[in-house]
Amino acid sequence: MSAPATKAKPARKAGKFTPKRTTKGKEFTPRAPRSTEDRLKRLFVSLTAQIDGAHFKNAIRTCNKILVLAPNDADVLQTKLFLLLQTEDYAAALDLASAPEHRFQKAYALYRLNRETDAGEVVKELKAVELDDDAARGVEHLEAQLEYRQGDYDGAVKTYTHLLDTCAPQSDEQSDLLTNLSAAQAHLDFLTSGFQSSIASLPATVIQSLETAPPPSAAPTASHPTTAVVTTSPAPTRKGPRPSRVPKGVVPGVTPPPDPERWIKKSERTNVVVHSRKKGKKVVGAAGTTQGAAVVEQPQPSAGGGGGGKKKKR
């Protein structure tokens, strides 16, 4: 005996969404919040990836999120300070570098903010403290840059020479030190002996005028009263009447005026020549009128001379 045939289910139409049935009365249970340790773990993973990818702006935001959960994390504070210096936000880095262990970062931020005097005081404090070799070398680099910027080229040459003698050969540091040392030495040579050769190359008249010229006097420091200068704006000039625009080739008073009805359709004009259906006649009248229109028939002149008809064939 054959099995009974089963009825096939109709296929669902394309583009028609059938929602799933839900159990009535089922209450929604919110997901439990993650623990602080789990959130910190995820944030540290994101921070590492952002620093490796050089996404420093996003890394600073991640540091702020971590500091909300762990405000006393020294590693995160150090990382944020490094990121602020990398992004050249020296004002924010200076505000963050208030701890004693961040004095070098503070001195560098002051140097980049063109506060050389304050940076030099912090460098003196660092040199008075016992530091490891790497930290002491960084302080010496910063000291040489401050000496060069403040015009102490002799001290800068000595500091760069000491750093060059103690650096690793064929390194990036050696290349940078050679460049900085040559710049400081060039300034020092010009101040000690270079200016003499430059003066010797000048004409004799210029040298004599320089030798006989009196020394420059100090600029007066007294402040002079300032008077307010009132400037009056000039009165606006009145413009004359605008000249009429006459088309090219038109002479006023000579050229006949244009047809005033030139913008109206020909079928609506008051005077138009209409060809009549009758042979040899024209009708001149008002176009578009139905009652009271004056129509004048004009005969058309014949083409012949004296005779008015055709000649019969013989």
Tens of pLDDT along 58-76?
Answer: 999 999 999 999 998 999 9
Retrieve residue 263's tokens. 């913008």
How far apart CA 103 and CA 77 sit, in angstroms, is 14
| Model pTM above 0.75 | no
Question: Quick check: 164 and 144 in contact, CB under 8 A?
Answer: no
Residue-wise pLDDT tens digits, 240-266: 667 677 778 778 777 887 788 888 887
User: What 3 state SS string does 91-133 have?
Assistant: HHHHHHCCCHHHHHHHHHHHHHCCCHHHHHHHHHHHHCCCCCH
Is the confidence at residue 233, as pLDDT, over 80?
A: no
Q: How far is CA 242 from CA 86, 157, 257, in A?
A: 65, 76, 22
Higher-pLDDT residue of 192, 207:
192
The burial class, CB within 10 Å (0-12 / 13-18 / 19+), for 147 is buried
Q: Which residues contact 165 (CB under 8 A, 6 or more apart)?
A: none
pLDDT of 161 higher than 90: yes
Sheet holding 281-285, edge to edge: 272-275, 281-285, 296-299
Contacts of 58 (CB under 8 A, 6+ apart): 50
Question: Among candidates 312, 308, 305, 272, which has minimal Cα distance to 288?
Answer: 272
Q: Where are the beta strands (DSSP E) in 124-278?
A: 272-275
Q: How far does CA 83 lie from the centroid of its chain?
A: 24
Bridge partners of 275, per DSSP, are 282
Q: Which domains does the chain have, with CATH numbers?
A: 35-87 (no CATH), 90-129 (no CATH), 134-191 (1.25.40.10)
pLDDT (0 to 100) of residue 229: 54
